[in-house]
Structure 1
Amino acid sequence: MKSVSVKEGDSVTLNSDLTEIHDYLIQWSFWVENTLIAEINVTADRFSVFDDVLDGRFRDRLKLDNQTGSLTITNFTNEHSGLYTVETKNMNISFFLAVYDEISVKKGDSVTLNSDLTEIDYDLILWTYMNEIAVIAGIYSSDSMTVYDDVLDGRFRDRLKLDNQTGSLTITDITTEHTGDYLLLIIGANQSLKVFSVSVYDSVHCCGSTEAVIRLVLSALVGVATVILLVYDIRSRRAE
């Protein structure tokens, strides 16, 4: 399992870890409906990308390396976030990809982390504070919307507002102890994975370097697997 964060509009290469292709069949799939998006058939000498699947979500964005089988996604957007898997007869590697946004906010102000949804149809939405892997808000059904503002010794108490139309999360009266990475996970009619790197400053000068932020995001994404397991546990309990 590998975790990767991508700035929206950039390109990202998922490395197969192969130096050359020996396997007869290499397949790349995307988590939405376990969709096949690329394939190498060595026997038939065929290299294929299926960029018209999922209503053209990947159209003109996929490139296969015919030497290593690595896959490049260009002009990456939030709808391309999620779980990717490359499989051969000898290996299986998964990648968690998330778009990240860098947000800087002044101490005492409010900040809204946008889900990019115009409406919920009807998705499971989970907000997690990744620095300490704590779920802070969730929408589980049309009549179940919750903020967990008492977690982490009340760090977010009376500060969280969840939009029941879009699933966006607002943090009010923010302080430096709210600095960190926030993960948005959406599963349902819409599926996405997004990280917001929030820095809080108390003067006109702020922020660390982009490189430092990227390192923080990559560290935070290590907890994504934990969040995924939690989501499926919640859904299983609801089904019961």
Structure 2
Amino acid sequence: MKSVSVMEGDSVTLQTDTEIKKDDLILWRFGDEDSPMAEVNRSAQIISVSESTKGFKDRLHLDPQTGSLTVRNIRTDHSGIYKTQIIGNKMIRKTFNVTVYARLPIPVITSYCPQNPSPSGSSASRCVLLCSVVNVGHVTLSWYKGNSLLSSISVSDLSISLSLPLEVEYQDKNSYSCVLNNPISNQTQHLDISKLCHTCSECVCCCNSTEAVVQLAVSALVGVATVVVLVYDIRSRRAEQKRRALKSLSDHN
């Protein structure tokens, strides 16, 4: 079995590497069900392509001289096992395991405010970053400092989101990059610390301002409740004094 890797949207040619004789019959099949894809019968001058299999419509080309099969504008669901049989004076079988990789997005780097800041050192002197990608599969997401790998995370599932954090000093002058890769391609996003990290520690300010808003809201509610209680108490006392005065007047009469 020969393994073949290709990027989604590209073309791939599965070579028979065999000289086809006039009386040879070449058959191509796909998948676990061995669904027929294409056939060459040179003696009968027949070249047939079954494009209904697995959405291959208008994507297949069969070379009548070599029997090689080309899949154009290939999709990720075209990954699988391709088999060919060359039937002549002897039987020749070839199998290809084709893996189609989706095109990779460019990673996105953002700064964020961690709910649990790092216990090592003051959070005000450090910038916390997050490198993220969405709807990816069979990839690795990594942080690099120069050419040195700092951390990475891999996923083999399809259509999943990945995020990888990194903590750096605000005044760090080193070169950092976030790289998304699969076995045949990669996408890189370089970190610009000056744009995402500021000495005023916007991340910490964000956290503190959020906490301040919550505290202010709680204080306001407590204040309102106190005022309501005081007003109610004053009105109750006045009502009681008025009631006693009326009762005293009634008793006197």
TM-score normalized by the length of structure 2 = 0.48
Which protein has greater RCO, CA pairs closer than 8 Å, 6+ apart?
Answer: 1
Bigger Cα Rg: 2
Select the structure that is richer in helix: 2
